[in-house]
Structure 1
Amino acid sequence: MARIFEPIQIGKMEVKNRIVAAPTVVCYADEDGYVTQRLIDLYEERAKGGAGLVVVEASFIRQDGRMFARQVGVHTNYHTIGLSELADAIHQAGAKAALQVMHGGRQANSRFSGCQPIAPSDRAYSPWMGDRPRVMTTEECTQLADDFANACLRVKEAGFDAVMFHATHGFVIQQFMSPYTNDRKDQYGDRMAFPTEVIQKTRAAVGSDFPIIFRISGDEFLGDQGITLEMNQKEIVPALLKAGVDCLDISVATLESFHWIIQPIYFPRGCIVHLAEGIKEVSNVPVVAVGRINDPRLAEKIVEDGRADMVALCRALLADPAFPRKMLEGREREIRKCIACNYCTDRTFGQRTVKCAVNPDFGNERAYRIQPALKRKKVLVVGGGVGGMEAARVAALRGHQVTLWEKEKQLGGLTHRAASLPRLYVKELANIVEWLPDQLKRLSVQMEMGKEATVQAVEAFQADAVVLATGSKPVPLDLPIAPGPQVITLDEYLAGGVQVGQRVAVIGGAHGSEVAVSLGREGKTVALLESGPPELIASAPYMDMVRRVVLQGYLQEAKVNVLTQVQVKGITKEGVELTHADGRQEVVAGGRALPGGRRRRAPPDGRRHPRGRLLGPRDLTLEASGETLHSLPQNGGRAVSTTPRKRVSS
């Protein structure tokens, strides 16, 4: 048996394996912070998936520390009733249960707390959150430590096996620990005084047998202004160990470096594991590694090589909660891997309930439970992209006879091309199109490649239901273009074999930013043209907030000339003619122009059909276009609604 599946001790608690289901705010509590059935279903499914320790998401210990509209609360005794049901569900599914406690400090949101945020010092103001905090008095610091301890006692009384302190990602304990956010002159100016007091008071409240886990920032990525790995090794970790923590979970960053908190697709797998490895060198308690661990071989190797004692999986378990169980059973090929698109976390920061771009069942474990169809039907899916394959998969799981037509020789649609963008790490977009075809084979879906759908062919097939998942196509440029090879499409560029000149204009800042970076890194002279304001740069629907911020930095590094609020008037052999907002006219590029937009394809009959309706055996009526079909008619009815999902390909 691999070491990752060996038991491990955290204090007095034995965990059956070394995989942690990391805490993830999903916004499924009610508006008062109480546990809901939807939240219980989610964590029960996660525990069934095989993780040894399931950590329930960041829960606020006081109203003035709240960050999210539907965040779990542990601030009153009334909340322990629902939390107890949640802990029981995790236990019954075979895992140990911990709960993460937090207080936002300067990051608390007055919209939901109803209070002005409080913080260790006035320099802790966060423009990103929009609220200026009030500096805590010495007495308030002491009271906050008491309130942490009281909340941890509630965690124990609710039946959890351990508690985790959220002391990273910029929350209040980290604010005391970091030189960036603590310039106090009283006793709490000693940056380890507050966390030490919290641990000691918690230990007195919960007893010696209840494990205390501390999640800390291995590096704030603020240079000498903030916490560094060296500071952790010399100051922070020794103090935490002396205070009595039983386990250290190593994440990263703070609000000013938030793009490291949820590492985007551009960052390599396991990109912060080295920090856990460095802290393990000075720790005598188990150390947990986290961060872009979405591959079973990587997870196993981290533990096998002794870089960390355990691994925490976050987004990987949103994509496939059964990741650990499939690993244990040798079914790694069946794991639906996260594509690091951050659709999930973008919804969190937008105060919306979390969903997953590749796992529509996430958060809908009860509602989307697959039920056998009352009547087996003959289903034709037109289009073998992500949406079409998912529609075929769900229909087959329900017992329908499914055939899929794809006009190309390869399944996956545009996702393969999007994942092949040179000089930019986006290849993990292809994770989902590696998983889906294998699932279709297991379900005996008939896949016909090189098959183009026409009205006559579809009618001749005589399907009971037709799903159109024909994807999108490039948007043609509606402007004067001189004869000749002045313009190439994004599809042509990604397909390769097209010569691009030294000077290139990319038209469309929302969808064109990534290709502009790719060309810039190749050494091309690139102009990125956008008719709208600067906010539209890197704003395509599939780009999350973190990805946008990182990509905008990449544009600067690649020396891309970004021009916004410009109108393209035409393309000649000399270049792209454009007009600035102030009326100035300019010709840029001089090589080739590359438009970046796309629109949905028309169905075979040339008509535009409403999404989400199946009207009859001879009507082409559902255009999936990168979405997911979750149900088909069971009773001969003529219409069924579907739940649309965000595209996972660009």
Structure 2
Amino acid sequence: PLERLMEPGSIGSLRTKNRIIKTAAGTGYADKDGRGTERMADFYGAIANGGAGLVIVENCAVEWPRGTHVVPTGFRLHHESYVPGHALVTAAVHKHDCPVFVQLMHAGPWLAMLPGMGPQERITASTIAEEDMPPSVWDWVPGHELTVPEIHDVVGIFAHSAELAKEAGYDGVEINASFYHLVNCFLSRFWNRRNDEYGPQTIENRTRFYCDIIREVKRRCGNDFAIAANINAREFGLANGTTLEEAKAMAPYIEAAGADILQVRASSYGPYLEMLFPETVLYPETPNLDLSDLDISRGGPGMYLNMSAAVKQMVSIPVFCAGRLTPELGDEALREGKLDFVGMTRRLIADHELPNKVAAGRADEIRPCCGCCYCVETRMDDGPQSCRVNPESGKEREYQITPAVKKKRVMIAGGGPAAMEAARVAALRGHEVTIYDKAAELGGLLPIAAVVKDHERESLVGLIRYYKGEFAKLGVKVELGRGVDAELTGKVKPDVLIIATGGKNAIPRIPGLDNRKVIDSTSLHRKLKLALRVFGPEWLGRLTKIYMPVGKNVVVMGGGVQGCQLAEFLVKRGRSVTIAETGEVLGEGLPYLTPVRLLNWFRDQGGVALAGVTYERITDQGLEITTAEGERKTLQADSIILALPLEPDPAAAKTLQSAAPEVYQIGDVKEFGYMHGAFADGAKVGHAI
């Protein structure tokens, strides 16, 4: 049992049932005007019902439009009219005996520009010339340097938003002074070039703006209204950025101003890209960058523990951090005195019930988060947050488990993600479910993906383990090595047949496909599945670093997620690789920032990636193509591997269309989709029958 993690905690006068904090992260569940909604309330209510000790609701702009980073659905709390929407959220969380904060922020120079807004709307500590702006994925432009009276006005804006938060029922606020937000501009020596009492000449001056906000919130809302502080312990990749020693020196000032708890974060620029998600920093391989102060021993999880421990030594208030922390790692950090609370977000999105399962000694039943950042990817175009492995996240009301009106015998053909999720949901609703799959192992293509996806291997294998555990608990029968045909359906006589046998491998129509150099997806999958029966994904991944029946020079046909990750796999095993993609975009299907990191690394390793090509023919020399520029050339290769997206396979389902009173096709057999689409399909059908 993870006793320290489940131990009650204190934040000021507030008590928590355990040490798990759901950290703030945007959901996109606000309405078009940035108000709270029932969907948002359902989501945060479900997190609270799952046993979290504290819920911190997503970043919320204290000023509109000047203070927002996300438009148009950026959450806001700048006016009295927004209180009812927030009250929906607080009521949903409080219903489950869980305290709730909201994160208040002002985007400052990180402002998302709206039509008609001028540069003066970007406010900051100091105006910095455009040519001096730091390298980043964000579009920085010079902002308006706040005058001292304007600084006082912004302090009042924050305090007013905190008053509205208290009126809405929040137990406290987290004031965001990390990443690239306005308050951080005063803490950072790069962004702050002032020569007054708010300048960077002393730590006291640099923290003055932040401390003024904290003190004013306490003055207006009372000492019992909790305040969580949130700072960068270091700004990586930024000349004159905040250092860990400076962050340690700032912490006592922030505590003295009235903060009740402190979250430690880090921001990043240039080649560091996005450090909010620590595993991405080390992908595809550990970069040749200054990673001092970080703990990279676990490949990402716990990366910020060393910095948090260092800051914790400077204050008496509780300290916490997030960053892929598992329950086990969080408990260990608590026992070792590195943290007082454990921050989580993506793991709680993947399984809202994680805290309750830990408390009940059922940690083995937790649905694992893959760390794929699909939840972040869905937010990039201001869409609502979705989870790749948990289709119910954000659809808690729609996908509430309700007992089936009539218990049915459900037969599922296939054992991949769509099939497994359909089986789980149908069984939860009371149906009698049996999975039939001609493969020897459950999971469809997941075991193969686990071999190729080095950084996701553990969680993909964990997903299969999770479903096996669920099936054992729910009584789902699994018949492996047995496909579904008319004879079997005639014998079983199912009420419902779900066809989830997967798509078929796409084959380009060009001469030379029968060349001995060609390795098509079907034969590759067959060989890997055979090897997996003996070794398993982890050992097979290791053995392929010693031997693979693949030539030294490889051309990968296909530059989507399948081709790019296969290319990464091959390069790590000493192959020289060229990617040839017919579409205009490389890396389609790869989640947030992965294409940038992966393709930059791939080219640094000597790989060649070509988009917009036309496949002409395969010869003994290699793959002949016409480039996007119209040049005819041959890509020399010892091996040519087809890694194209799957195609729907209607023929596989045609003979079974009338095999049961209800027949459903889900997953790639019906329409090609990625892993998230397969899980979503399974959930939808499981709830429908």
Calculate the TM-score normalised by the size of structure 2: 0.84
Matching residue of 1:169: 179
Q: 1:593 and 1:418 mapped to 2: Cα distance? A: 19
Q: Of residues 267, 283, 292 in structure 1, which corresponds to 2:315?
A: 283
In the TM superposition, residue 494 of structure 1 has moved relative to its aligned partner by 5.3
Matching residue of 1:562: 609
Query: Is 1:330 the equivalent of 2:361?
Result: yes
In the TM superposition, residue 200 of structure 1 has moved relative to its aligned partner by 2.4
Gap change, CA 1:456 and 1:49, over 3 Å in 2: same
Gap change, CA 1:119 and 1:363, over 3 Å in 2: same
Matching residue of 1:42: 43
Q: 1:241 and 1:573 mapped to 2: Cα distance? A: 71
Query: Is 1:95 the equivalent of 2:98?
Result: yes
Q: Of residues 198, 204, 207 in structure 1, which corresponds to 2:222?
A: 207
Contact 2:512 2:617 in 1 (8 A): yes
Contact 1:259 1:549 in 2 (8 A): no
Q: 1:14 and 1:606 mapped to 2: Cα distance? A: 56
Q: Of residues 264, 267, 288 in structure 2, which corresponds to 1:253?
A: 267
Q: 2:627 and 2:375 mapped to 1: Cα distance? A: 37
Query: Is 1:617 the equivalent of 2:617?
Result: no
More deviation, 117-126/141-150: 117-126
In the TM superposition, residue 26 of structure 1 has moved relative to its aligned partner by 0.7
In the TM superposition, residue 151 of structure 1 has moved relative to its aligned partner by 1.2
1:259 partner SS: coil
2:102 partner SS: strand
Letter in 1 for 2:303: C
2:235 partner SS: coil
Query: Is 1:216 the equivalent of 2:226?
Result: no
Q: Of residues 232, 235, 243 in structure 1, which corresponds to 2:257?
A: 243
Letter in 2 for 1:154: L
Query: Is 1:486 the equivalent of 2:489?
Result: no
Q: Of residues 106, 122, 126 in structure 2, which corresponds to 1:121?
A: 126
Gap change, CA 1:498 and 1:457, over 3 Å in 2: farther
Contact 1:526 1:589 in 2 (8 A): no
Gap change, CA 1:80 and 1:184, over 3 Å in 2: same
More deviation, 594-603/259-268: 259-268
- For residues 119-518 of structure 1, the aligned pairs below 5 Å read 119-123=124-128, 128=137, 132=141, 134-138=143-147, 139-190=149-200, 191-233=206-248, 235-254=249-268, 257-264=272-279, 266=283, 267-293=299-325, 295-421=326-452, 426-481=457-512, 483-489=514-520, 491-492=524-525, 498-511=548-561, 512-518=563-569
Letter in 2 for 1:65: G
1:545 partner SS: coil
Q: 2:250 and 2:127 mapped to 1: Cα distance? A: 23
Matching residue of 1:629: 682
Contact 2:35 2:85 in 1 (8 A): yes
Q: 1:470 and 1:523 mapped to 2: Cα distance? A: 34
More deviation, 263-272/368-377: 263-272
Contact 1:109 1:131 in 2 (8 A): no
Contact 2:420 2:682 in 1 (8 A): no
More deviation, 261-270/458-467: 261-270
Q: 1:459 and 1:608 mapped to 2: Cα distance? A: 12
- For residues 11-30 of structure 1, the aligned pairs below 5 Å read 11-30=12-31
Matching residue of 1:78: 81
Deviations 1:145-195 (A, max 9, x none): 211112112222333222101122322112222233233344433332321
Contact 2:506 2:647 in 1 (8 A): no
More deviation, 585-594/353-362: 585-594
Gap change, CA 1:552 and 1:279, over 3 Å in 2: farther
In the TM superposition, residue 482 of structure 1 has moved relative to its aligned partner by 6.5
Deviations 1:584-642 (A, max 9, x none): 33333331111211214525656499xxxx988267542333243346699xxxxx6x9
Matching residue of 2:587: 538
Contact 2:423 2:686 in 1 (8 A): no
Gap change, CA 1:133 and 1:60, over 3 Å in 2: farther
Contact 2:102 2:165 in 1 (8 A): yes
Letter in 1 for 2:123: I
1:523 partner SS: coil
Gap change, CA 1:180 and 1:510, over 3 Å in 2: farther
In the TM superposition, residue 56 of structure 1 has moved relative to its aligned partner by 1.0
1:5 partner SS: coil
Deviations 1:420-472 (A, max 9, x none): 12765544233322211211121111211111122443344322221111123
Query: Is 1:573 the equivalent of 2:620?
Result: yes
2:550 partner SS: coil
Gap change, CA 1:531 and 1:180, over 3 Å in 2: farther
Letter in 2 for 1:94: D
Query: Is 1:519 the equivalent of 2:570?
Result: yes
Contact 1:453 1:604 in 2 (8 A): no
More deviation, 341-350/253-262: 253-262
Unaligned runs of 5+ in 1: 635-639, 643-650
Matching residue of 1:67: 69
2:47 partner SS: helix
Q: 1:338 and 1:514 mapped to 2: Cα distance? A: 19
Q: 1:537 and 1:370 mapped to 2: Cα distance? A: 39
In the TM superposition, residue 264 of structure 1 has moved relative to its aligned partner by 4.9
Letter in 2 for 1:284: S
Query: Is 1:551 the equivalent of 2:561?
Result: no
Q: 1:263 and 1:282 mapped to 2: Cα distance? A: 24
Gap change, CA 1:100 and 1:487, over 3 Å in 2: same
Deviations 1:22-69 (A, max 9, x none): 112111122222221111111111111111111111111110112232
Gap change, CA 1:122 and 1:595, over 3 Å in 2: farther
In the TM superposition, residue 108 of structure 1 has moved relative to its aligned partner by 2.0
1:40 partner SS: helix
More deviation, 342-351/479-488: 479-488
Matching residue of 1:647: none
Contact 1:454 1:604 in 2 (8 A): no
Letter in 1 for 2:420: M
1:417 partner SS: helix
CA RMSD of aligned residues (A): 2.8
- % of aligned pairs identical? 29
Contact 2:495 2:662 in 1 (8 A): no
Contact 1:482 1:573 in 2 (8 A): no
Letter in 2 for 1:362: S
Gap change, CA 1:521 and 1:585, over 3 Å in 2: same
Letter in 1 for 2:337: G
Contact 1:501 1:591 in 2 (8 A): yes
Q: 1:454 and 1:622 mapped to 2: Cα distance? A: 15
Gap change, CA 1:325 and 1:78, over 3 Å in 2: same
Calculate the TM-score normalised by the size of structure 1: 0.89
Q: 2:660 and 2:654 mapped to 1: Cα distance? A: 17
1:220 partner SS: strand
Contact 2:268 2:274 in 1 (8 A): no
In the TM superposition, residue 388 of structure 1 has moved relative to its aligned partner by 0.2
More deviation, 384-393/211-220: 211-220
Q: 1:342 and 1:149 mapped to 2: Cα distance? A: 33
2:339 partner SS: coil
Matching residue of 2:290: none
Contact 2:321 2:342 in 1 (8 A): yes
2:267 partner SS: coil
Contact 1:8 1:14 in 2 (8 A): yes
Q: 2:637 and 2:380 mapped to 1: Cα distance? A: 42
Gap change, CA 1:130 and 1:572, over 3 Å in 2: same
Deviations 1:194-222 (A, max 9, x none): 21222222222223332211122223221
